[in-house]
Amino acid sequence: MKITHKFLAGVIAMSALMPLSLLPIQAQAQQYSQSQATPRIEGFSVDEVRRLDPGVELDFAIYGTPGGQATLRIAGATRNLTLVETEAGLYEGTYIISSRDRIEARSPVTANLRVGNQVSSAVLNESLQVGVGYHSDKAMPGPQPRIESFDVEPVADLSGGNDLRFTVLGTPGGKVDLAIKGVKGKVLLPEVNSGEYAITYTIRNRDRIKSNSVVTANLRVGERVTSVTLGKALQSASAPVRAARICNNCGTVEAVNLVEVKGEGGYLGTIGGGVVGALLGSQIGEGRGRTAAQIAGALGGAYAGHTIEGNVRKSSHYEVLVRLQNGATQTVSFAAEPGYRVGDKVKINDGVIVRNP
């Protein structure tokens, strides 16, 4: 069968008009991959080590587009490293230095993140060894890059899943990274327009970002670097105030009182006092007066005897008054000096006070 050029042209034209669902599977995959946006590497970090000897482990992490394949190439290393996506958009891996490797503190490390047929690359901008530093301390010839402005759109809540939009305006054609206190590694800002670098950073659950966390932007052009610290809070003033959790058995010592309790006189004190009072009354009174004096003496003596015995039997103890967080008060008694002072933070568990540091 002879195939003419007109026939081939017709087939090609028909395939162009066919819906995607009728195209071969390979053609669908190719068109899908071409329609995909280029993957992004938002962060690239390493846990610096104290020495680069054989057997030492280098832990790397990449933050970026989820669902991809991430690999690393370390200059001086004898093999590449494939990272595992431990959670959406986070790729982690460990490279164990071998005796054949010739890795140095400032060895360049290149990361490649592939999603479909699209690949994004980034170079690690920190050293592999503690205290070495990635950038040279020598002043490089030529004009220094400039950062004209560094801004962030604050958010009401700094918990995981919320977005922080950072923008840096400065010298075009450079590379910008952010160091955020509470975030592991560096955050990379792509150049979205000439001299404009921006990224929307999604806060992760493992981050420990606070409103006043220090954020430093580094703009690098060649070997020249300029750094600026953000002069703005990361959390907006309208952030919702979260009610403090109330501990119903937690409180503060409000008073420590010494309490004396008089005892009750028994029948022995009453009888003994009455006898003594009657004898005294008989010596004072004459005739009927003696009888009245005896009765009065007996009554007075009985009361005095009762009181004296009560004083002998009196006891004392301490009472600690605690004002609880829920507004209530509770008093706990101690037989001896308890050792607590006004203002101490305490907890009361089953009637027993313990300190609450």
Q: Is the pLDDT of residue 20 over 90?
A: no
Which residue type is seen at 232? K
pLDDT at 167: 95
3 state SS of 262: coil
Reported as a single tens digit per residue, the pLDDT across 279-331 is 445 555 554 555 555 555 555 555 555 565 556 567 788 888 888 887 788 88
Reported as a single tens digit per residue, the pLDDT across 120-136 is 888 887 889 887 866 54
State the Cα–Cα distance between residues 257 and 277, nearest whole angstrom: 38
pLDDT at 57: 93
pLDDT, average across residues 153-166: 91
Residue 154 sits at φ, ψ, to 5 deg, of -65, 155
Q: Is the pLDDT of residue 163 over 60?
A: yes
Close Cβ partners of 66 (under 8 Å, ≥ 6 residues apart)? 85, 88, 89
Share above pLDDT 90 across residues of the chain, in percent, rounded to a whole number? 29
**Which range among 108-117, 217-226, 313-322 has the greatest average pLDDT?**
108-117
Tell me whether strands 315-324 and 250-261 are parallel, antiparallel or unpaired. antiparallel
pLDDT, average across residues 134-144: 58
Q: Is the pTM of this model over 0.85?
A: no
